[in-house]
């Protein structure tokens, strides 16, 4: 017993496997009267509430009643520098970048602005129950410093990197192959593994990097294979035509990464909507993660990612907001959009699959499922508490529920930040958010 023991009581949901590949009842366990013991920043025990109260009578108790205790949400693809331009009026990808994204990213040369936006962004995530995020920064090293510093202040687990571009963007955002390598390596050396920060090697996408830049970033990844690498692929059809003109010798879009050593198991490939059969096969065999960004794909008009087909083929798939192309900071809104797109693609995703994607599944894509994404002893005490009756409409539907999943699904489809009853990060309570 330590003076840091905290006992959280409520409904709990734990995952022991992938509900896409095993029966729902085998993949997860729901306890209507569960409990989580937090000690020294980690989960020390998970059990029935009465069992834990008897075993730890001096623990400080937080009784959440019928609220659902989950691992903190994980967002596997986002752009924190686009916080201020989220929900900008509809453009296709390339126009959207030139009209909104690049002008906003140029402001991040200012360390004070970068710091303010990093703090605002991370606070928005916490308000929405997200405790871990993978973010692109801008091409300015100060944007990376600002993001990791703000995350450290909040004790959040984050993954991020300098966005590298040496063509097809405004001059103030461009670097060179050598600068991309040198600045990325310096930031990696400074931040990777410090506190709860992990560095991610980050070519924005093939159209904004020359072959020379992609080659040096592939070299950097080979030198630091424990790092993640993030980029975009096959988001929109006009983008594919552009890539084909820029890389006439490439077999396809994926080959523009593969030929430079940027295909691997720790790669995160955002969007991945319009893949060829060869690309799908190579990504699956390499173990790279496809990152589904449903609100972004619909907001910018990119297309429908077929979650059922990709999981059926054995792909590793992550789920993400992709703010600010995505139209919400909320992973609840994101999983609702994933359900809707699944319906259009012919797969009705089960609530267990959706919650798994946003927690344990996303931790798996980050190779962090040994310490994130689960309610289990030894895991980080990053926890989100969900109010399953947060609005009158949700409560009305939940009152008619005959099963636990019937009770959860209205919050999945209609929930927002009002459903986030409480958040814990690294064992510390962020507080009641309203």
Which tens digits make up the pLDDT trace of 123-168? 999 999 999 999 999 999 999 999 999 999 999 999 999 999 999 9
pLDDT of residue 122: 98
pLDDT of residue 300: 85
pLDDT band with cut points at 50, 70 and 90 for residue 239: very high
**Taking the chain, what is the end-to-end CA distance rounded to the nearest angstrom?**
33
pLDDT band with cut points at 50, 70 and 90 for residue 238: very high
Query: Which ranges in 247-391 belong to alpha helices (H)?
Result: 255-258, 277-286, 294-299, 307-312, 331-345, 351-356, 362-365
Q: What are 361-389's pLDDT values in tens digits?
A: 999 999 999 999 999 999 999 999 999 99
Question: Contact 383/429 with Cβ under 8 angstroms?
Answer: no
pLDDT for residue 432 is more than 50: no
pLDDT for residue 434 is more than 70: no
The CA distance from 426 to 406, in Å, is 31
pLDDT of residue 39: 97
pLDDT for residue 41 is more than 80: yes
Q: Give percent above pLDDT 90 in the chain.
A: 93
pLDDT of residue 3: 53
pLDDT band with cut points at 50, 70 and 90 for residue 433: very low
pTM of the model: 0.97
pLDDT band with cut points at 50, 70 and 90 for residue 9: very high
Q: What are 104-115's pLDDT values in tens digits?
A: 999 999 999 999
Report the mean per-residue pLDDT for the chain: 96
Cis peptide before 86 (omega within 30 of 0): no
pLDDT of residue 95: 81
pLDDT for residue 68 is more than 90: yes
DSSP SS3 for 385? strand
pLDDT band with cut points at 50, 70 and 90 for residue 408: very high
Domains of the chain: 6-72+374-429 (2.30.40.10), 73-365 (3.20.20.140)
Q: How many Cβ atoms sit within 10 Å of the Cβ of residue 91?
A: 17
pLDDT for residue 406 is more than 80: yes
pLDDT of residue 271: 97
């Amino acid at each position: 017993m330590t003076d840091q023991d905290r006992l959280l009581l409520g409904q709990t949901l734990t995952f022991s496997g992938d509900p896409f590949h095993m029966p729902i009842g085998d993949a997860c366990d729901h306890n209507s009267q569960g409990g989580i013991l937090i000690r020294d920043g980690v989960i020390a025990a998970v059990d029935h509430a009465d069992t834990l109260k008897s075993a730890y009578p001096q623990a400080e108790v937080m009784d959440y009643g019928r609220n659902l205790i989950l691992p903190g949400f994980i967002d596997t693809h986002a752009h924190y520098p686009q916080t201020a331009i989220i929900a900008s009026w509809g453009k296709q990808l390339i126009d959207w970048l030139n009209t909104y994204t690049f002008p906003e990213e140029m402001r991040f040369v200012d360390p004070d602005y970068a710091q303010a936006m990093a703090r605002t962004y991370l606070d928005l995530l916490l308000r929405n129950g997200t405790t871990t995020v993978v973010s692109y920064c801008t091409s300015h090293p100060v944007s990376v410093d600002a993001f990791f510093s703000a995350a450290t202040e909040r004790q959040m687990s984050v993954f991020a990197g300098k966005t590298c571009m040496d063509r097809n963007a405004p001059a103030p955002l461009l670097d060179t192959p050598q600068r991309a390598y040198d600045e990325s390596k310096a930031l990696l050396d400074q931040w990777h593994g410090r506190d709860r920060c992990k560095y991610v090697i980050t070519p924005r996408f093939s159209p904004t990097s020359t072959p020379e830049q992609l080659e040096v970033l592939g070299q950097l990844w080979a030198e630091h294979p424990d790092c993640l690498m993030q980029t975009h692929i096959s988001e929109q059809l006009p983008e594919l035509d552009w890539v084909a003109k820029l890389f006439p010798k490439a077999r396809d879009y994926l080959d523009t990464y593969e030929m430079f050593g940027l295909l691997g198991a720790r790669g995160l490939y955002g969007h991945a909507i319009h893949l060829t059969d060869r690309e799908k096969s190579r990504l699956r065999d390499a173990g790279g993660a496809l990152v589904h960004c449903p609100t972004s794909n619909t907001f910018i008009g990119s297309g429908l990612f077929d979650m059922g087909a990709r999981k059926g083929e054995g792909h590793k798939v992550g789920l993400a907001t992709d703010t600010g192309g995505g139209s919400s900071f909320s992973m609840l809104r994101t999983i609702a959009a994933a359900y809707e797109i699944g319906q259009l693609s012919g797969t009705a995703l089960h609530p267990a699959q959706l919650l798994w994607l946003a927690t344990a599944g996303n931790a798996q894509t980050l190779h962090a499922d040994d310490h994130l994404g689960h309610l289990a002893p030894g895991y980080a005490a990053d926890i989100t508490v969900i109010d399953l009756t947060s609005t009158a409409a949700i409560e009305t539907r939940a009152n008619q529920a005959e099963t636990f999943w019937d009770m959860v699904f209205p919050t999945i489809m209609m929930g927002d930040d009002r459903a986030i009853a409480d958040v814990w990060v690294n064992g510390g309570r962020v507080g009641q958010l309203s």
